[in-house]
Structure 1
Amino acid sequence: MGKPLSGKVTVVTGGSRGLGREMVLAFAEAGADVVIASRKLDACVALAEEVTKKTGQRALPVACNVGEWEQCENLAEAAYEEFGVVDVLVNNAGMSLLYPSLEQVSEAMFDKVMATNLKGPFRLSALIGTRMAAAGGGSIVNISSIEAAHPEPLAVPYAAAKAGLEALSVGLAHTYGPGVRVNTIRCGPFDTDIAKAWPPELRAELARHTALKRIGGPADIVGAALFFASDASAYCTGATLALDGGFR
C-alpha cells in the first residue's frame, strides 16, 4: 500500500500523549509532516524527535493551550510559517474536571472545560478552515466523547461541551464545504492517561457496557483518524462516527 497522507501537513492538538500521540505517529507513518501541539512543550519536542527518527517526516512541536485564542492564533501562524499549508486539523485536546456536585462547579471550572473542549476547536477551525477553503481543500476532525450522547452526572459541563463540538462540526462542514470536510469521532472509553485513575470496578463496568466487552486501546483510534484525514472519506462530511466498541 502507498502512503495515504504523503505530502500532507497535519496539526494535532493534545498531540503529545494518549490518542493524540497515536494519531501523530500514524499520520507520520502515512507520509504526513506533523505539527504537535499541547500545553507541555518538552513532551511535544520529545515526540517530534521520535517522529523524525522513526519516519523521516518533519515534525514541529508547539506549546499551545487551545483555551486561549491568542495561543490558537500563534499555533496556526507557526504551522503556516513552517509548512506553508495545513491539510488536516485534528481538534483532539480535551479535559474534564471532577466536582462533588453541580452547584459546586465554579465559574472558572466551567469556563476552563468549555474553553478547552469547545472554544479552542472553534477558533482553530475558523483560523485554519478559512485558509484550507481558500487553498482548495482540507479535512478537520473533531474528537468528541460518548458523554455528548450519554451525559453522566459527574461530567455534565464536559458532556455539554462535547455536544456543542458535534454541532460545531456540522456547522463547519456547511461553512467551509465543498472543499473542506469536517467530521467527528465520538470516542468511548479508552485506556489512556486518564484511565490510570480508574478503579478496577469502573474499568470492568465500562467494558461490560460495550458489545466488544473491552475498553479501547490507544491504537484503536488510528483507523478512524486515517479514514477522515485521507481521501478515503472524500464523500463524508458533517458525520459523527461512534468509536465506542458498541457502548450502550
Structure 2
Amino acid sequence: MQTRIKQKFDLKNKVAIVTGASKGIGESIARGLAEYGAKVVISSRSQEAVEHVANNFKKEGYDALGIGCHVGDEDQLKKLVEETVNAYGAVDILVNNAATNPFYGPLDTMENSLFDKIMDINTKAPFQLANLCYPIMKKRGGGSIINIASVEGMKPSVGLGLYSVSKAALIMLTKSQAVEWGKFGIRSNAICPGLIKTKFSSALWQNEKILDQVTRHLPAGRMAVPDEMAGLACFLASDASSYCTGSVFTADGGHMIAGGFN
C-alpha cells in the first residue's frame, strides 16, 4: 500500500535546532520533531536544564542533544550552530522559539533598556540564528525555518505593547526570509500561538479577568496547552508543507476572530 502523504511527515535524517526548548512550547515542539524521527538539539540558557530534557528524550529512544545557549549572545549563537554541525553534520530545521517579555504595562512607562532587551531576544536573535543556519541549509539544498511569533504581533492587547511590536517584526522577518531564500529551497513560516498555559504566560492566565475573557469570548472557550502547538510545527518542518512559505499560521482558539484580551 502506498503512503504518499504519510511519508511526507517523516523527519528521519533531519537535524533540528529548537531554542527555548527546556520547557513549555519549545519542549513540546522538540518532542514532536523527535517523534517524527528528527535528531533534535535542545537549546536554552541553562545547560543543566537542556541536558535534563535531552536525557529524557534519549531514554525514550530519541536522538537528542542539549546545548546551552543564551540567544541574546551572538558568540553563544555561533557556538550553538557549530556544535550542532559537529555533532550531526547539518541543520535542516530551525525553530526560533526563545522569547522574553519582562514587562506588562503601558508603553509610556517602559524603560528604553527593556525595549532593547525585548527586541534583542524576540527579533534580533531569530534574525542572527537564521543567518547562521542559512549557508548550511543552502548547501543542503533546502531547510525549514519556523519562527514562533504570537497573535499579539497581529492584534495587540493592552499591557503587551512592545512584546507585540517584537512579534510583528518577527512575522515580517519570516516573510522576508521566505522571499529571499525560497530560491534555495529554504522555507520560512511563522506560528502565532494564542494564550498557552506555560510559565512564560502565567502573568496572563493567572489574571482572573483575562482568564474569564478567554472562557467567555474565545470560540474554543479555553486556553491551550503546549502540546497543541507541536503538530503544526511538525507539519511545517516536514515535506508535508513543501508549498508553504512566508505564511503565518495562528493556533489561537479563535482569538483573531473574537475579542482581544483587553
- State the distance in 2 between where 1:100 and 1:147 align: 14
Structure-1 residue corresponding to 2:151 = 146
1:101-112 alignment to 2 at 5 Å?
Answer: 101-112=106-117
Structure-2 residue corresponding to 1:234 = 242
1:196-215 alignment to 2 at 5 Å?
Answer: 196-197=202-203, 198-215=206-223
Structure-2 residue corresponding to 1:157 = 162
Structure-1 residue corresponding to 2:254 = 246
Partner residue of 1:88 out of 56, 72, 93: 93
Cα offsets for 1:184-221 (capped at 9, x unmatched): 00110011113444133322212333211111111101
Paired letter, 2:190: T
Paired letter, 2:172: A
Task: Give how far 1:149 is off.
Answer: 1.2
Task: Give how far 1:101 is off.
Answer: 3.5
Counterparts in 2 of 1:131 and 1:207: CA distance versus 1, 3 Å = farther
- State the distance in 1 between where 2:99 and 2:111 align: 18
Structure 2 regions of 5+ residues with no counterpart? 1-5
Structure-1 residue corresponding to 2:180 = 175
- State the distance in 2 between where 1:117 and 1:207 align: 28
Cα offsets for 1:101-148 (capped at 9, x unmatched): 323312221111111100000000111022201220110000011111
- Corresponding position: 1:126 with 2:131: yes
Structure-1 residue corresponding to 2:191 = 185
Paired letter, 1:35: V
Structure-1 residue corresponding to 2:228 = 220
Paired letter, 1:158: Y
Paired letter, 1:172: Q
Counterparts in 2 of 1:100 and 1:142: CA distance versus 1, 3 Å = closer
Partner residue of 1:52 out of 30, 35, 58: 58
The range that moved more, 237-246 or 92-101, is 92-101
Partner residue of 1:65 out of 70, 76, 99: 70
Cα offsets for 1:56-89 (capped at 9, x unmatched): 2321111111122221111111111111101100
Counterparts in 2 of 1:196 and 1:159: CA distance versus 1, 3 Å = closer
Task: Give how far 1:152 is off.
Answer: 2.1
Residue correspondences, number: 247
**Does the CA-based 8 Å contact 2:41-2:84 persist in structure 1?**
yes
TM-score normalised by length of structure 2: 0.90
Q: Percent identity between the aligned chains?
A: 38
Counterparts in 2 of 1:47 and 1:210: CA distance versus 1, 3 Å = same
Q: Secondary structure at the match of 2:243?
A: coil
The range that moved more, 124-133 or 45-54, is 124-133
- State the distance in 1 between where 2:16 and 2:23 align: 16
Q: Secondary structure at the match of 1:27?
A: helix
Q: Secondary structure at the match of 1:16?
A: coil
The range that moved more, 237-246 or 68-77, is 68-77
